[in-house]
Amino acid sequence: MHVFLDANVLFSAARSDSSIRRVLREPVRNEHLCIADGNVWEEAQRNLAVRTAEGLGSLDEIASLIDLHSGFAGSGVDVGDTTLPDKDVPVVASALALVCDVLVTGDRTHFGSLYGATIRGVTIHSPRSLAELMQTGAQDS
């Protein structure tokens, strides 16, 4: 499974050895691929620099756990009609462009109503629902 990571997931994982960081390790252990593009990576870096600069080193460590694409991957990708604000559409576009199965985001405000929904082949998950999916998938193996 290919898992696209939103900036807020990267930010949270870099701030502490939290449950989100453990979720990032699960796909790697289960031979799933975590993916991010330069757009979400730069947003995570900007937010860390403003709120907790010590997290930048952890973010660099996270880079070794994921497939990081430079630049914005979703340029020109049509995501169709969504209820998302314009600023969040590029996240879905990148997940589509990078042929991901899952987009994981902690943005409950904008993506919460889409948790569990599939947009053109990409299922939207919260970090918690991704952890549950990984646990269920590990048990099924």
Each residue's pLDDT tens digit, 40-68 = 999 999 999 998 877 888 888 888 888 99
More confident site: 18 or 15: 15
- pLDDT (average), residues 133-139: 66
Q: Mind listing the domains of the chain with CATH numbers?
A: 2-140 (3.40.50.1010)
Q: Which helix (H) or strand (E) holds 59?
A: helix 55-63
The answer to whether 34 and 24 have CB atoms below 8 angstroms apart is: yes
- Residue 37: partners with Cβ closer than 8 Å, 6 or more residues away: 68, 69, 70, 71, 72, 73, 74, 94, 98
